[in-house]
A = this chain, B = another copy of it.
Amino acid sequence: MDYQQILQDAMEAARPVLGHGRVADYIPALASVDPQAFGMALATIDGEFHGVGDHETPFSIQSVSKLFTLALALAEGGDGLWKRVGREPSGNPFNSLIQLETEHGIPRNPFINAGALVVTDVLHTLTGDASGAVRDFLRAEAGNPSIATDPEVAASESETGLRNAALANFIASFGNLVNPVETVLEHYYAHCALRASCRDLALAGGFLARHGLRADGSRLLTRSDAKRVNAVMLTCGTYDAAGDFAYRVGLPGKSGVGGAILAIIPAVGALCAWSPGLDTAGNSVGATVALDYFSTVTGCSVF
């Protein structure tokens, strides 16, 4: 398939909606991004790479980091993780505290904020440096040593992150955090504030298309675990719109409020689209349109 042309066409398909939606503006560093920006990149398991638009522009990866946190925590610590976090869709906004109360501090899945805090706690216990582990993994897979936490974003998140502080204290009140609340929040903010490009993320997501193998051929996850992470992405990866994303795009995907969506085409490659305008569920409007176009034209849906 002429992926370069298809990416080009996907960008054209998204163009009419660029600037639509709402750029995340709860911290200045996110609000200042160009709402018209758009990038898209595909890295295949055969080593092909294609990119269009601003595919080399770094942005704040935000919740896309939760995917890597989960994968690393599973790789390092195994299935015990699932005793502390579920894998069911929540049916509620990503930062809701409601289910946490009725479900006794066990977050519904690793991709809502509550769940990602628990996974960060797990990874921190395993590695001693949760955010560093995520950063190093991205650097290695993307071959880009410049990937780093934006300190301004991390600081702003921390200052304005009252809801996340509420979540972390609440989870801790149920005994489901091992490290101090402040430590978990610090590492959570640090991995969310990592800056990377579509190119970087498409390369870094490749292990999920390769059924667990890293870029260098070493194994991060078992074949089975890699498939299972894809399953969690598909059912829970795009906030309370996971059903709609599965319906439209048909691929496992993980989104972030920075505007990125990283999608996996099992046995084919990893695909990242980025555009800052968000829909009401918190997913990028432009990235969704581009991914929808791509999966429709290529037939690359898992279904």
* Cα of A185 to Cα of B260 in the assembled complex, Å: 38
A96 beta carbon closer than 8 Å to chain B? yes
Whether B91 lies near A170 (C-beta < 8 A) is no
Residue among A240, A241, A244 with the highest chain B CB neighbour number at 10 A: A244
Which B residues are CB-close (under 8 A) to A31?
none
Q: Is A33 an interface residue (CB 8 A)?
A: no
Min C-beta distance of A17 to chain B, whole Å: 19
Any B CB within 8 A of the CB of A4: no
A104 interface residue per 8 A CB criterion: no
Question: CA of A24 to CA of B92 in the docked complex: distance in angstroms?
Answer: 29
A243 CA to B248 CA, complexed, in Å = 18
Chain B residues near A87 (CB, 8 Å)? 243-244, 247
Query: CA of A247 to CA of B81 in the docked complex: distance in angstroms?
Result: 14
Stretch at the interface among A37-45, A54-62, A158-166, A272-280: A158-166
**Cβ proximity bits A9-25 to B, threshold 8 Å, 1 near / 0 not:** 00000000000000000
Q: Mark A82-100, 1 if CB is under 8 A from B, else 0.
A: 0000111111100011110
User: Residue A301 at the B interface, CB < 8 A?
Assistant: yes
Integer count of this chain's copies in the complex: 4
Partner pick for A303 among B91, B173, B252, CB 8 A cutoff: B252
Interface size on A, residues (CB 8 A): 52
Identify A86's interface contact among B165, B167, B243, CB under 8 A. B243
Given A173-B163, A243-B109, are A235 and B89 neighbors across the interface (CB < 8 Å)?
yes
Contact A241 B97 (CB under 8 A): no
A51 interface residue (CB < 8 Å to B): no
Any B CB within 8 A of the CB of A169: yes
One of A118-126, A193-201, A224-232, A282-290 contacting the partner: A224-232
Partner of A236, one of B90, B169, B243, B296: B243
Interface residues of A (CB under 8 A from B): 86-92, 96-99, 101-102, 108-109, 162-163, 165-170, 172-173, 181, 224, 226-228, 230-232, 234-236, 240-244, 246-248, 250, 252, 264, 266, 296, 301-303
The 7 closest A-B pairs by CB, nearest first: A91-B91, A89-B89, A162-B173, A166-B170, A230-B303, A166-B169, A231-B246
Extra contacts besides A88-B91, A97-B101, A231-B246 (9): CB < 8 Å: A89-B91, A91-B92, A162-B170, A162-B181, A166-B167, A170-B170, A228-B247, A232-B247, A264-B303
